[in-house]
């Protein structure tokens, strides 16, 4: 196997799920997210010699974000696909039906709250809470200074009154 291919597989491939997750939240459409991730991985493969950083995930998510933004500019459509598809999250195998129902309800409320956030807040929430990136990594992915990121984060906390989620589970 070619060393370029092997290096790419070892450094970038592990971040496929994170790449899809970010694209899905940005584009709100499974098919578009798949297209953007495919295009992003192709771009990353072609440009892997320019990767000098120590964090492949941050670099890959930056490419995904930029590709998603370009995609939206190219194919801007007024139709938004709701994120309410039940197959998106893994099924909970808890034996307690009441707990399962409460967890599903909570996930749906969180998903709805996130989908109602402005894009810049949604990006930060997805990258921080779902992908586990540090604020420094998020600032790098978004291409903004750390101070601006903190202002976005503070703004998001003020706007969350409409989509506030109560935790029903212990």
- Read off the tokens for 15: 């971040």
Q: pLDDT per residue over 114-170, tens digit each?
A: 888 888 788 888 888 888 888 888 888 888 888 887 766 655 543 334 444 333 333
Look up the CATH number of the domain holding residue 112: 1.10.10.10
User: pLDDT value at position 166?
Assistant: 38
Q: Is the pTM of this model over 0.85?
A: no
Helix-strand-coil split of the chain, %, nearest 5: 70, 0, 30
**4 with 71, same domain?**
yes
pLDDT reported for residue 154: 57
Query: Measured at the alpha carbon of residue 110, what is the angle toward residues 12 and 133, in degrees to the nearest 5?
Result: 30
pLDDT at 67 over 90: yes
Q: Give the total number of structural domains in the chain.
A: 2
- Pair of tokens at residue 81: 């696909």
Write out the residue range of the structural domain in which residue 155 sits: 92-165
Distance, CA of 125 to CA of 122 (rounded, Å): 5
- pLDDT value, residue 135: 86
Contact predicate 119/152, CB 8 Å: no
Q: Is 165 exposed, middle or buried (0-12, 13-18, 19+ CB in 10 A)?
A: middle
């Amino acid at each position: 196997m070619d060393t370029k291919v092997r290096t790419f597989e070892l450094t970038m491939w592990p971040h496929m799920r994170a790449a899809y997750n970010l694209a899905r939240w940005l584009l709100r459409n499974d098919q578009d997210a798949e297209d953007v991730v495919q295009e992003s991985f192709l771009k990353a493969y072609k440009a892997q010699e320019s990767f000098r950083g120590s964090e492949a995930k941050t670099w890959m998510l930056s490419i995904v974000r930029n590709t998603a933004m370009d995609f939206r500019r190219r194919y801007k459509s007024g139709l938004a696909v709701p994120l309410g598809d039940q197959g998106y999250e893994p099924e909970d195998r808890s034996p307690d039906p009441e707990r399962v129902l409460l967890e599903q309800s909570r996930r749906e409320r969180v998903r709805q709250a996130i989908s109602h956030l402005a894009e810049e807040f949604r990006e930060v929430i997805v990258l921080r809470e779902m992908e586990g990136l540090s604020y420094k990594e998020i600032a790098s992915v978004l291409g903004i200074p750390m101070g601006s990121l903190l202002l976005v984060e503070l703004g998001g906390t003020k706007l969350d009154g409409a989509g506030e989620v109560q935790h029903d589970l212990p």
